[in-house]
Amino acid sequence: MLTFLRRRTLTSLPPLLAVVLGVFVLARLTGDPAALYLPENATAQAREQFSAAHGFDQPIWSQLIDYLAQVTRLDFGTSLRTGEPAAVMALRAFPATLQLAVVTMLLACAVATAVGCWAALRPNGLGDRISSLMSMTAASVPDFWLAILGIWVFSIMLGVLPTSGVDAGGLSWVLPIAVLMLRPAGVLTQVVRGAMIAALGSPYVKVARSKGAGERRVVVRHALKNAAPPALTVAGDLAVGLINGAVVVESIFGWPGIGKLMIDSILQRDFAVLQAAVAITAISIFVLNIGIDLGYALLDSRVRQKVGAAA
């Protein structure tokens, strides 16, 4: 298992390094870093002082080493807006996004499993139509528009849900999660449906049926258990993609998470905070990718055996 974990870590590492190095290259090689970090109306003197203080006048290699050391210490400098350390701001925002993402993914998986199974049991039936409608919506409706539509209908016309913020308790979760769920639920339903149709037509389900196992047992114990691994892999990819939606949803609903922090720091040209937010997101994606592979290995005994043989 440890060998497996180590190999997975090595293959998931390049994206993380690419992001960390990419930010460095983009920030240092494409112009004056002082122009990036300082507001646009900073004086020439302020720019020079800033460059000297942060070592931007040093050769590029020593800058790179300094930069990597800073990243490993999660030290991205201080925010121009608040004067707080950027990493502290990013870490403070992170749990809000994580909560949103976890609840969304759990609900999306539950909906996808239910609708996907229903659709697979009766192809061309009502469940099938709902599932293809869901996947079509997921692929064609912009999430920001859906969010605006939700605010218009439920907050302005009906007045039952708050327009933004987190103060209204449970009610303030409804719209952000409903919007964020759209894409993962739609895609996952299609995957579960496909995997379940394949599983229900397979020999082991026929054997289970011929042994007289009840319908519920056949569906849950035999078919669903075997349909789970492919769905889990897709769910992992979708969870990574959720960050795209989180940026949009958080900035519309004023959710104090990492996506809103990113957009705010872009619009107010606060590069230190942007960098911290991006780095923390990259690290969590790295951890998530390893988690997905581990989960896959635990669910699929064939992978588990191969891992055992390799170790």
Partner 1 sequence: MTLLENPPEASAPDRPVKANWFRLLLADPAAFVSALILLLVAFVAVFGKRLAGDSAVTGDLSLSRLAPFSLDHGWQYVLGGDLLGRSLLGRLMVATQTTMSVVVPVVLISLVIGASVGMWAGYHRGWRETVAMRIADVVYSFPSLLMAVVVLYIFSPSIASIIAILAITRIPVYLRTARAESAELQTRLFVDAARTFGTPSGAIIRRHIFPIVLPTLLTVATVDFCYVMLAESSLSFLGIGVQPPDVSWGLMVAQGRDQLRTQWWLSVLPGLAIVITTVSANLLASWVRIATDPGQRWRLTTPRRRRRAARPTVLETT
Determine, following the binding rule CB under 8 A, whether residue 15 of this chain makes contact with partner 1.
yes
Pick between residue 129 and residue 217 the one whose CB is nearest to partner 1.
Answer: 129
Determine, following the binding rule CB under 8 A, whether residue 114 of this chain makes contact with partner 1.
no
Residue in 145, 160, 165, 298 binding partner 1, rule: CB under 8 A: 145
Q: Considering the complex, what minimum distance in angstroms separates the CB of residue 211 from partner 1?
A: 23
Q: Which stretch binds partner 1 (CB under 8 A): 28-36, 64-72, 74-82, 107-115?
A: 28-36
Determine, following the binding rule CB under 8 A, whether residue 285 of this chain makes contact with partner 1.
yes
Quick one: three-class SS letters along the chain? CHHHHHHHHHHHHHHHHHHHHHHHHHHHHCCCHHHHHCCCCCCHHHHHHHHHHCCCCCCHHHHHHHHHHHHHCCCCCECCCCCCEHHHHHHHHHHHHHHHHHHHHHHHHHHHHHHHHHHHHCCCCHHHHHHHHHHHHHHHCCHHHHHHHHHHHHHHHCCCCCCCCCCCCCHHHHHHHHHHHHHHHHHHHHHHHHHHHHHHCCHHHHHHHHCCCCHHHHHHHHHHHHHHHHHHHHHHHHHHHHHHHHHHHHHHHCCCCHHHHHHHHHHCCCHHHHHHHHHHHHHHHHHHHHHHHHHHHHHCHHHHHHHHHHC
Pick between residue 11 and residue 301 the one whose CB is nearest to partner 1.
Answer: 11
Q: Considering the complex, what minimum distance in angstroms separates the CB of residue 129 from partner 1?
A: 14
**What is the footprint of partner 1 within residues 195-234 (CB under 8 A)?**
195, 197-198, 201
Pick between residue 219 and residue 273 the one whose CB is nearest to partner 1.
Answer: 273
Pick between residue 22 and residue 55 the one whose CB is nearest to partner 1.
Answer: 22
**What is the footprint of partner 1 within residues 232-251 (CB under 8 A)?**
240-241, 243-244, 247-248, 251
Task: Summarize as ranges the residues that interact with partner 1 (CB under 8 A).
Answer: 12, 14-15, 18-19, 22-23, 26-27, 30-31, 36, 123-124, 136, 139-145, 148-149, 151-152, 156, 193-195, 197-198, 201, 240-241, 243-244, 247-248, 251, 262-263, 266-267, 269, 271, 274, 278, 281-282, 285, 289
